[in-house]
Amino acid sequence: MSALRIASLAKSYRSTRAVSDVSLNVDEGQIYGLLGPNGSGKTTTLSCALGLQRPDSGTIELLGQPARAIHRTQGRVGVVFDEPTLIPGLRVHQNLSYAECLLGHRGGRGIDEALELVGLAKQRRQRAGQLSLGQKRRLAIARALLGRPELLVLDEPLSGLDTAGVREVLQLVSRLRDDGLTLMLSSHRLHELERVVTHVGILMDGRIVREAPLPELLATDRRAVVLYTDTPDAARSLLGPLVLEESTDNAGPTGLTRLRIDLRDEQPADLNHRLVGSGCRVSELRLERHSLQTVFEELLDARLDGAADATGGSRS
């Protein structure tokens, strides 16, 4: 069953088109990542999906209810937007108690269970303003989990978090899915979200350019290796068109050139032997792992190439 279905969504702000013809589907039990750069339309899409903004056109169905009857989903959807809006002077448990009264929660998951679930039981008497950003984010998630929502929507859940905070939130997301919750995460943090999402919709310039289960998205027929060397001329001379890409990679060894090489049917050890025999000094050679980042970059390159072709120009 679909938890959220959007078809042909469009939304403009005066003369600026924020999203155009967005269609996506989130099924029950998924961790769906709505991924894309800042300004791609993620928050607008979520705001329209949750009834916070009126779309210009398109259809939305949330937990089986059409947009015009979205009020019937009250209590079944938990939402946490980018900034965790808490009352800093109140204690942790008081923030949740206030939310219970404000939202009229009756039954389901209570304060103690929600705090235990997000790992803040020991901080229940601490004032919210004294929490770290990661703890504030988890407290906001605890508030969204009061009652027993079926769908949890997190907008930029990793924004501003350090490594420890990111790990805590991702572990929590995995536990919530194991607990039977459907989650939708909006983020530009591709590398981190790859560790937990099961399905992905990639949004660029207000349009969904690819939607697929994560394993399908990362599948590729091309075998490639990444080579780091200080003698790229020797590698190019030997391999010619098998060199797919060349760059100076700041994430790699300092002062070396990064070459991406089509492996075809050759084994990495055999390629390494040929390279060394031709006078290429190999500092590092490893099989390329297809990632969300590489998928995103390929889609972005294709989009830029298409735009250049449409205008008769060229990329620089």
Domains with residue ranges and CATH for the chain: 2-218 (3.40.50.300), 224-287 (3.30.70)
Q: How far apart are CA 55 and CA 36, in angstroms?
A: 20
Q: What is the pLDDT of residue 173?
A: 94
Do 26 and 33 form a contact (C-beta atoms < 8 A)? Answer: no
Q: What is the pLDDT of residue 53?
A: 92
| Secondary structure, 3-state, 174-215 | HHHHHCCCEEEEEECCHHHHCCCCCEEEEEECCEEEEEEEHH
Average pLDDT over the chain, rounded to whole? 89
Q: What is the pLDDT of residue 233?
A: 94
Q: What is the pLDDT of residue 293?
A: 86
* Exposure of 88 in the CB half-sphere (CA atoms within 13 A): 5
How much is the CA Rg of the chain, to the nearest whole Å? 24
Mean pLDDT by 10 residues, the chain (316 residues): 94 92 96 93 93 93 89 90 87 94 80 93 95 93 92 93 91 92 94 94 94 89 86 94 82 77 91 95 89 85 67 54
Do 185 and 4 form a contact (C-beta atoms < 8 A)? Answer: no
Q: What is the pLDDT of residue 295?
A: 87
Q: What is the pLDDT of residue 300?
A: 83
Dihedrals phi, psi of 269, to nearest 5 degrees: -65, -40
Q: What is the pLDDT of residue 149?
A: 92
SS3 content of the chain, % helix, strand, coil (to 5): 40, 30, 35
Residue 243, strand partner residues: 261
Q: Identify the CA nearest to 187 among candidates 221, 215, 153.
A: 153
